[in-house]
Amino acid sequence: MRFHGHPASSFLILPLLLSSLLLDVPLLDADLSSDAHALQDFATRVLHARKLDWDSPTRVCHSWVGITCSPDGSRVTAVRLPGFGLYGPIPRNTLGKLDGLKVLSLRSNYLSGDLPDDVPSIPALQYLYLQHNNFSGGIPSSLSTRLSVLDLSHNSFSGSIPETLQSLARLTALKLEGNSISGTIPSLNLPRLKSLNLSSNNLTGSIPGSLHEFPSSSFAGNSLLCGEPLSPCSMIPNPSSTTSQEPAKALRDGNPDGNRKVRTRTIVVIAVGCSLAIFLLVVVILVCCLKKGDGIAVLKRKEVDVGNVTSKDFGSGVQEPEKNKLFFFEGCDYNFDLEDLLRASAEVLGKGSYGTAYKAILDEGTTLVVKRLREVVAGRREFDQQMETVGKAGRHPNIVPLRAYYYSKDEKLLVYEYMPHGSLFARLHDKGQGRTPLDWDSRLKVSLGVAKGIAHIHLETGARCVHGDIKSTNVFLNQENDGCVSDIGLAPLMTFSAAISRSIGYNAPEVFETRKVTQKSDVYSFGVLLLEMLTGKTPLKYAGYDDIIDLPRWVRSVVREEWTAEVFDVELLRYDNVEEEMVQMLQIALACVTRVPDARPRIDEVVKMIEEIRQPDMKDRLSSGTESNVQTP
Ligand SMILES: *[C@@H]1O[C@H](CO)[C@@H](O)[C@H](O)[C@H]1NC(C)=O
Ligand SMILES: *[C@@H]1O[C@H](CO)[C@@H](O)[C@H](O)[C@H]1NC(C)=O
Ligand SMILES: *[C@@H]1O[C@H](CO)[C@@H](O)[C@H](O)[C@H]1NC(C)=O
């Protein structure tokens, strides 16, 4: 239940998930020893800031950093060294000799020079991540035909896009943005291509028709590129003519040639548009017929394939195409995959109502929170739909952003942004060393933030949306020390008992009878949270705390005259002139924890009430008061 770091209890938990997949085979056959040799060759010839410890060749599959072997331990199948401070060129005949290699991730290093063509042409290679280095020269044209992801973005590659990409029938992601690639885009027709980014290069000419359906951001930042989805080619000044003549001017001048060209183009555009529309209509009808009855929404999510984590040959996973994918929500610009997550060093943050939360630090330093959900009752489709709702609802400054999720039969993971200032629970109740208690100003700010977050869930996402598990361990402080609500939208996916048992102190009385959470029960839980914040007492049963569990009942039992002396957190009594505000907040809290659900205010009314606590003239006093408190903690 404690959502704060325990450095002493740091474990590499998540990698354990992987370990079951790697069988121990002590024998070292010839192929493996040549793999080990090639890797050692690489390590000695490439400077690296972080230690690799690739010493004993017999341990290559067991203890070498960044190395994964095939299940039978006969070949190295993955090399992942992201952010290892690798410096300089990759020598030929090192990594290129690993001919069982399927995954190579060397992103976010300082690798430079030509990419030796024996690397991308490793026959088994499926995932090549080299983004954020400084490779230069041309993109090698000999590429493994099994490639599924080719990410060379943010380097200094020049030259043109090789035509041989057309032969990569399995390619799902092609990322070349942020290089100096020039020339025209070859007419690629890759059925599986889902993610394409050629932006910020030096490409010219028109975008081939087969790539029109990608968004304009896939092509932006190439000043001489034109055609759908960018502006039509006629609008771009002709690169060969030095005086950038506008086509409109040519028309005005009555240039018959230009006129005819424009007209022909219009006809072509209309014709293409019409046939596209008809095609789309047919597709829609087909899809509707096929999916009749289940009414599933087409999810607009960014999909990232992950390598063979649990399936032997993921690339040809025809039966269950959605298996083993980490789903990213839009607006997430993180660069990681499921394997990175599983390999991240992780520390247990705490056990929540729905499972265990880990703080995961990726190799390149990104910190995330990964939640392993337990007791999920929802099926795949229901889960997906709920996540879609959550992804949409979650875009609010007072809601902890959910970045990605993973669903399989045995494992459900949610990936959240990490909140460095910890949970409200920890800030209120952790009396450990070096922790400054939250002052009244901060508590007021957090309360208002949380109320706004809940209001967003209740009001912006449709009448049926509830949080269902408001409590201080689900409230986090962001960079601005504003309150953010986490774990939204999970209640409907879980067994009822999972939610109820761990949050007893926060649940409205009617919830135990109806076994249903409502917006009114959310307001009750929020009222308990306010009481917790005001009293400094926890409504949760918690080791080391023998405090009361039913906060509302206890507060009601104290007569009003005694509130200041009895109810309020002693930490808060150190501040002058805040008593009136605290009393007002207590009244709001008591209104929220009214027994009769219909007598409780709506959350948007609560937001208004909290906003009214702070009088304008008091703001000045409090902000100066806060400053002096900082100096004397
Ligand atoms: C990348 O390499 C080029 C030469 O190929 C060099 O001029 C440039 O400074 C390098 N950039 C960085 C960030 O190291
Ligand atoms: C792009 O190409 C043009 C002409 O080919 C050249 O003048 C320009 O310097 C290039 N820009 C970059 C950023 O490479
Ligand atoms: C392409 O990359 C650029 C720069 O990284 C980014 O801003 C843009 O959103 C990306 N577009 C797509 C479609 O991924």
DSSP 472: G
Q: Which of 108, 111, 112 to mutate to test the pocket of ligand 1 (most atoms within 8 A of CB)?
A: 112
Using the structure block, give the residue that is written with the tokens 């952790």.
Answer: 430
Mean pLDDT to the nearest integer, 371-391: 83
Q: State in Å, rounded, how far the first CA of the chain is from the last one.
A: 27
Determine the atom of ligand 2 nearest the C-alpha atom of 158: 14
CA distance 400 to 64: 36
pLDDT value for 41: 92
Ligand 1 within 6 A of CB of 136:
yes
Q: Among 94-103, 230-239, 529-538, 619-628, which is the least confidently predicted range?
A: 619-628
Q: Residue 103: pLDDT above 90?
A: yes
Q: In what order do the strands lie in the sheet with 149-151?
A: 67-69, 76-80, 103-105, 127-129, 149-151, 173-175, 195-197
pTM of the model: 0.48
Q: Residue 324: pLDDT above 80?
A: no
Q: Among 345-359, 488-502, 582-596, which is the least confidently predicted range?
A: 488-502
* Rg, the chain, Cα only: 29
Q: Which of 134, 136, 157, 179 to mutate to test the pocket of ligand 1 (most atoms within 8 A of CB)?
A: 134
pLDDT tens column, 590-632: 999 999 999 999 999 999 999 988 755 445 444 443 433 333 3
604: exposed, middle or buried (Cβ count in 10 Å: 0-12, 13-18, 19+): middle
Closest ligand to residue 112's CA: 1
Q: Residue 33: pLDDT above 80?
A: yes
pLDDT value for 590: 93
pLDDT value for 262: 40
Closest ligand to residue 332's CA: 3
Ligand 1 within 6 A of CB of 158:
no
Assess whether 482 carries a catalytic annotation: no
Q: 298 CA distance to ligand 3 centroid (A)?
A: 22
Closest ligand to residue 199's CA: 3
CA distance 423 to 483: 9
pLDDT tens column, 108-144: 888 999 999 999 999 999 999 999 999 999 999 999 9
pLDDT tens column, 275-319: 555 455 544 444 433 333 232 222 223 333 333 232 222 222 222
Closest ligand to residue 157's CA: 1
Q: Which residues of 200-217 are buried (b: 16+ CB within 10 A; e: fewer)?
A: bbbbbbebeebbeebeee
H-helix or E-strand spanning residue 385 = helix 380-393
pLDDT value for 460: 73
Q: 374 CA distance to ligand 2 centroid (A)?
A: 54
Q: Which residues of 365-402 are buried (b: 16+ CB within 10 A; e: fewer)?
A: ebebbbbbbeebebeeeebbebbbbbbebbebebbbbb
pLDDT value for 275: 54
Catalytic residue among 151, 305, 340, 469: 469
Q: Which of 157, 182, 223 to mutate to test the pocket of ligand 2 (most atoms within 8 A of CB)?
A: 182
Q: Among 50-59, 449-458, 483-492, 495-504, which is the least confidently predicted range?
A: 495-504
Helix then strand then coil, in percent of the chain rounded to 5, is 35, 15, 45
Give the closest residue to 120 by CA, choosing from 81, 92, 82.
92
pLDDT value for 289: 33
Domains along the chain with CATH numbers: 32-242 (3.80.10.10), 265-621 (1.10.510.10)
Q: From the CB of residue 265, how many other CB atoms can be counted at a distance below 10 Å?
A: 14
Torsion of CA 28, 31, 34, 38, to 10 degrees: -110
Predicted confidence band at 587 (pLDDT cuts at 50, 70, 90)? very high
CA distance 423 to 125: 43
| Arithmetic mean of pLDDT over the chain | 75
Nearest CA residue ID for atom 2, ligand 2: 202
Give the closest residue to 360 by CA, choosing from 336, 396, 383.
336
Q: Residue 533: pLDDT above 80?
A: yes
pLDDT value for 217: 94
Contact indicator for 337, 306 with CB cutoff of 8 Å: yes
Predicted confidence band at 207 (pLDDT cuts at 50, 70, 90)? very high
Q: From the CB of residue 186, how many other CB atoms can be counted at a distance below 10 Å?
A: 16
CA distance 172 to 192: 5
**Tokens encoding 410:** 């045995």
Q: Pocket around ligand 3: residues whose beta carbon is below 6 Å from it? A: 177, 197, 199, 215, 217-218
Within 8 A by CB and 6+ apart from 509, the residues are 595
Q: Residue 64: pLDDT above 70?
A: yes
Give the closest residue to 440 by CA, choosing from 537, 298, 572.
572
Contact indicator for 606, 451 with CB cutoff of 8 Å: yes
Q: Which amino acid is at 110?
A: Y
Q: 223 CA distance to ligand 2 centroid (A)?
A: 10
CA distance 364 to 371: 20
Ligand 1 within 6 A of CB of 112:
yes
Predicted confidence band at 155 (pLDDT cuts at 50, 70, 90)? very high
Contact indicator for 391, 355 with CB cutoff of 8 Å: no
Q: Residue 232: pLDDT above 90?
A: no
- Per DSSP, helices labelled H in 536-578 are 551-557
| Helices 440-455 and 579-592: angle between axes, nearest 10 degrees | 30
Torsion of CA 239, 240, 242, 248, to 10 degrees: -70
Nearest CA residue ID for atom 6, ligand 3: 217
DSSP per-residue letters across 590-612:
HHHT-SSGGGSPPHHHHHHHHHH
Give the closest residue to 420 by CA, choosing from 482, 508, 467.
482
Nearest CA residue ID for atom 4, ligand 2: 202
Phi-psi region of 132 (alpha: psi -120 to 50; beta: other; left: phi over 0): left
Contact indicator for 235, 247 with CB cutoff of 8 Å: yes
Coil, strand or helix at 561: helix
Q: Among 10-24, 179-193, 224-238, 346-360, which is the least confidently predicted range?
A: 10-24
